[in-house]
Amino acid sequence: MSSSFLGASAQSLFKVNHGPYLQEVTRDGATIVFTTSQKAFSWIELKEHGAVETEAVKHFSSKDGLKEAWNTFNAVRVEDLKPGTSYDYRVVSKEMRSFEPYKVVFGDSLATEWHTFSTVNPKKQGGTFFITSDMHFDAVKLEKLLHAAAYQTCDAFFYVGDMTSYIAEPEAPFTSFIDTSVKLFASSIPFEVVRGNHETRGNLARTYSSYFPKRDGKIYGSYLLGDVMIVMLDSGEDKAENHWVYAGLTDYDAYRTEQAEWLKKLVKTEAYKKAKYRIVLSHFPMVMGQEWKDEHAWYGWEDAIRKFLPVLNKAKVDLMVSGHTHRFFFHERNADGNAFPVLEQGADSAVRLELHDGKIWFKVVDVDGKVLLEMNIS
């Protein structure tokens, strides 16, 4: 990512140091996230693709009548856009060297290069998606998997949990996977994140969702990409609430119940019913093979299955992709109470999922590009 300085000295260190990256791109809006190296006042300039620079409109993040300022983390929502339309945007920022009640001193200013993205086209049919999980801080492995799955031809990207091992430093999500995503695609194509159980750990775990802002404030949700419905579930922690490791600070039983009630309503909506393809993403697979039941007692995982699986089994799900187990394994329909196929995509592999002409095809690849499984499940 490059930034051009407007009146900046050669010695200035003021820059956009993470991002910009796209989140929650819909048919009529998008959120652009970025950080600056020093506290600043920042905004987005946006125009339709190909329009002259003078037609760009400024978009600010504001709350209670005040524009966000004197901050380093920024999430700017732009709305009232046209469906299926390409837009150009750039970040503009003014360093703030002091912010007194009646005197503000600005420093250097910068503007990034222009980036292009497209809003969701409601008439789009199918798509090609990249899915992985369980990178556990390994950005190098993530980059290898993106290349192995030919990320350049993917329409959307999904990370299904445990991209980190815990959140104890503000930089952790950036260095683990966000920066790599920005380097390759995320300034122009969004990625969406499903939280894993490891991202609930660490003294900064409660900040995790702020890196991926949503208008409804929820981590879980659904996304309609043309005729593809993506359902993203947050399965929480894998042990019981009273397990010593949580120190009495978790409340996932109630959280999973909340999601189950939301899921019951979602599958009754016209948007869900009319979707041609229905893909569910969850860090915990909604299948627990006998080998896990014999060796482990995973209360949280079992609770997720108890609450989510009965709803999903009646919802005409085409495929679930999950992580957590660190193994690559494919569960056929009805293997263990599941009415839909479940793919555990593994910690050293990624999925390239293609939905076209009513057919569902996927390929699982490892870091060396070796194909572990190639299957048509339509």
Nearest to 322 by CA among 297, 292, 294: 292
Going along the chain from its start, the domains and CATH numbers come out as 3-118 (2.60.40.10), 127-376 (3.60.21.10)
**Can you give the pTM of this predicted structure?**
0.94
Order of strands across the sheet with 342-345? 221-225, 228-233, 277-282, 319-322, 342-345, 328-331
Reading the chain (378 residues) residue by residue, the pLDDT tens digits are 445 444 444 446 899 999 999 999 999 999 999 999 999 999 999 999 999 999 999 999 999 999 999 999 999 999 999 999 999 999 999 999 999 999 999 999 999 999 999 999 999 999 999 999 999 999 999 999 999 999 999 999 999 999 999 999 999 999 999 999 999 999 999 999 999 999 999 999 999 999 999 999 999 999 999 999 999 999 999 999 999 989 999 999 999 999 999 999 999 999 999 999 999 999 999 998 766 666 557 899 999 999 999 999 999 999 999 999 999 999 999 988 999 999 999 999 999 999 999 999 999 999 999 999 999 997
> How is 262-315 classified by DSSP, letter by letter?
HHHHHTTSHHHHH-SEEEEEESS-S---HHHHHH---HHHHHHHHHHHHHHHTT
* Structural contact between residues 227 and 357, judged by C-beta atoms closer than 8 angstroms: no
Which tokens go with 249? 């600070």
* Structural contact between residues 315 and 272, judged by C-beta atoms closer than 8 angstroms: yes
> For residue 295, what pLDDT is reported?
58
C-alpha–C-alpha distance, residues 218 and 114, integer Å? 30
Which tokens go with 296? 């482990």
Which tokens go with 224? 């309609």
Angle at 375 (CA atoms; ends 370, 377), nearest 5 degrees: 155
Nearest to 157 by CA among 86, 83, 212: 212
Encode 303-335 in three state secondary structure: HHHHHHHHHHHCCCCCEEEECCCCCEEEECCCC
